[in-house]
Amino acid sequence: MDANLRRQVLELYREVDRAVAEAGPVCLASGRCCRFKEYDHVLFVSNLEVDVLLADAPPYQPPVSADFCPFQKENLCTAREPRPLGCRIFFCDPNYQETGNRLTEEYLNRLKQLAQANGMEWRYAPLHEFLNQQTAEKT
């Protein structure tokens, strides 16, 4: 990913963060959102999001399980700044679900448009698949 596209993705993240803050969902810092299997979640990410995440996230232990996020430690995110859209938008707050779904659709569409405008292939898959693929490519 070139610096210009990275800048555009990070700006989109800032817009998402503002939109979520305006919606005001409640977070109890329970860490449930990161324990995927336990709470029946799947974190899907795009290749653009993975590129940003891996550029700044701390090391993780491969292979990555589909059961939980490898960046969660003691119920907190260790990759908070480069975290993908799903992590920025998802909250357990039942009063926020409709808003969260709308924001997800809107900003995923904008990410896809960024990929297309920059001549990049669009891939969208569970986080663990991208991370395990990345690990396999390094070996």
For residue 125, what is the enclosing H or E element?
A: strand 124-126
Residue-wise pLDDT for 31-84, tens only, equals 888 889 988 889 999 999 999 999 999 999 999 999 999 999 888 899 999 999
CB environment 105-131: b (16+ within 10 A), e (fewer): eebbebbeebbeeeebeeeeeebbebb
Please state the domain count of the chain. 1
Residue-wise pLDDT for 89-137, tens only, equals 998 888 999 999 999 999 999 999 999 999 999 999 999 999 999 888 8
Residue-wise pLDDT for 107-119, tens only, equals 999 999 999 999 9
CA dihedral (75, 124, 38, 88) in degrees, to 10, reads 30
Range of 71's domain? 3-138
Residue 16 CA to residue 20 CA, distance in Å, equals 6
Predicted TM-score (pTM) of this structure:
0.92
